[in-house]
């Protein structure tokens, strides 16, 4: 059974056609849209600030979404994939973004639409990721502009696949 708890009287909420893995944890001020999925061992902690998640967002296995007390909430817009074991903390991720496996996104980061954060990248506090770009490395820097092929072939494909994958687990 998923660990879903209120914090100070505020309970998590989610839309239609969502999948939440049996061992996922979601607490506090978390709002999630439609067709989202929260995978095995993922943690979304809206205990110290708010977390707002749009539609068609997948939070993959072992990922952590959190925020900073009295400083930074977290906003994740539509059609976003948060890769396995990624950490997303107190930032804004605009629509059509892929955050790669093991990446870390720190407080006050703004990730522009149609962007990819490479696996293992560390996006330092206050970084502005340009829309339509790929950032990689430690600390993460822009490595190139994103192509239309990557937007449809990676960002949209992965987000769509996770909507499909979640259907396989709906009857757990």
pLDDT digits (tens, 9 = 90+) for 92-122: 999 999 999 999 999 999 999 999 999 999 9
Instruction: Identify whether 20 is part of a domain.
Output: yes
Question: Can you give the pLDDT at residue 172?
Answer: 65
Between 153 and 103, the more confident residue is 103
Res. 66: pLDDT tops 90: yes
Instruction: Identify whether 172 is part of a domain.
Output: no
Instruction: Identify whether 35 is part of a domain.
Output: yes
> How many independent structural domains does the chain possess?
1
Beta-strand relationship, 141-145 and 133-136: antiparallel
- Provide the domain limits for residue 25: 3-166
Instruction: Identify whether 78 is part of a domain.
Output: yes
Instruction: Identify whether 105 is part of a domain.
Output: yes
Instruction: Identify whether 62 is part of a domain.
Output: yes
Instruction: Identify whether 150 is part of a domain.
Output: yes
Instruction: Identify whether 137 is part of a domain.
Output: yes
Extended beta strands in 54-155, E state: 58-59, 64-66, 74-76, 80-82, 87-89, 92-93, 97-99, 104-105, 110-111, 115-117, 122-123, 128-129, 133-136, 141-145
Distance CA 158, CA 54 (A): 16
Question: Can you give the pLDDT at residue 152?
Answer: 86
Distance CA 125, CA 127 (A): 6
CATH number at residue 142: 2.160.10.10
* pLDDT-derived band at 88, boundaries 50, 70, 90: very high
């Amino acid at each position: 059974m998923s660990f879903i708890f209120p914090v100070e009287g505020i309970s998590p909420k989610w839309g239609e056609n969502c999948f939440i893995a049996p061992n996922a944890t979601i607490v506090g001020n978390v709002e999630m849209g439609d067709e989202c999925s929260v995978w095995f061992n993922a943690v979304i902690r809206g205990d110290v600030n708010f977390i707002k998640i749009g539609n068609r967002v997948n939070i993959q296995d072992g990922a952590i979404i959190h925020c900073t007390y009295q400083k930074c909430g977290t906003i994740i817009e539509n059609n976003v994939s948060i890769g396995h074991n990624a950490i997303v903390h107190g930032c804004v991720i605009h629509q059509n973004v892929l955050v790669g496996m093991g990446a870390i996104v720190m407080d006050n980061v703004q990730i522009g639409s149609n962007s990819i954060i490479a696996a293992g990248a560390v996006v330092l506090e206050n970084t502005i990721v340009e829309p339509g770009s790929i950032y990689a490395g430690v600390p993460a820097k822009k490595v190139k502009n994103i192509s239309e092929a990557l937007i449809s072939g990676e960002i949209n494909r992965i987000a769509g696949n996770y909507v499909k994958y979640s259907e396989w687990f709906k009857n757990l």
